[in-house]
Amino acid sequence: MSKKVAIVTGGSRGIGLGIVKCLIKDGFSVMLNGVRPEESVADVMQELKAGGADVAYCAGDISDSSARENIIAATKEVFGALNVLVNNAGVAPKVRDDLLDATEDSYDWVMDVNLKGPYFLTQLAARWMVEQQKADENWTGSIINVNSISATVVSVNRGEYCISKAGLAMVTSLWAARLGEFGIPVYEVRPGITATDMTSGVTEKYDKLIADGLTVTPRWGYPEDVGMAVASLAEGNFPYSTGQAIMVDGGLTLPRL
């Protein structure tokens, strides 16, 4: 195939959809994944296809092993190749509980989706990528984990989320080290305060914090900010930077006096 192929988990809304649109703009074919049934994303898919995009959708919860296998199988069936895996799907705790009140059920759910899911989906994708690389010396590919500033920034009312994101940072490092011999770089993008449905409930809070100087760039981040960073990595513009994290946070984590 002339087009490169990408899988984007959590690709039908929010940051994931922003990533999909940027990849499409750069000429990628894209397999979108999400937990919603196909009929629920029909409008999104129709909009993308109306613009000439080569896209498909595979429903499935990445915390489930059979769903992960199905995502890879569907991509093989529809596109026959894979160049880029974007591990973007993630969840926040359903209730923001103080550490003193947090529950094991919430911890397990967040960790399964945010950490176990991308770890083992990467394993499946990497096996296929290695096969392609061995079969074709001109094949190129990469893996990109969409993480969060919460990998290092503490929020004591959502500890399970922070732990999952800190773990995902290690996932990036591990797979970067393992896949280096095959020339498959692994990157990480860490968004900051980004305007999506996940943050819609705290808009007023962060509007005030941003106005008071929380970020160096005085605005919210947008899905396309993350999308442009991911697309640049996917294009292969940083071949000697495997294992690195790209901050897309408007300078929120920049140390300042």
Where does the chain have alpha helices with state H? Answer: 14-25, 42-50, 65-78, 104-111, 117-135, 159-179, 203-211, 223-234
Distance, in Å, from the CA atom of 11 to the CA atom of 56, rounded to the nearest integer, reads 11
Sequence-distant (6+) residues with CB within 8 A of 20 are 8, 11, 30, 32, 48, 55, 227
CB–CB of 173/147 below 8 Å? no
CB–CB of 3/30 below 8 Å? no
Residue with tokens 């394993």: 123
Distance, in Å, from the CA atom of 18 to the CA atom of 214, rounded to the nearest integer, reads 23
Q: Which of 161, 187, 206, 240 is catalytic?
A: 161
CB–CB of 71/11 below 8 Å? no
Sequence-distant (6+) residues with CB within 8 A of 134 are none
Cα-flanking dihedrals φ and ψ of residue 125, to 5°? -65, -40
- Partnered with residue 189 across adjacent β-strands are 146, 246
161 noted as active-site residue: yes
Point out the residues that are catalytic: 161
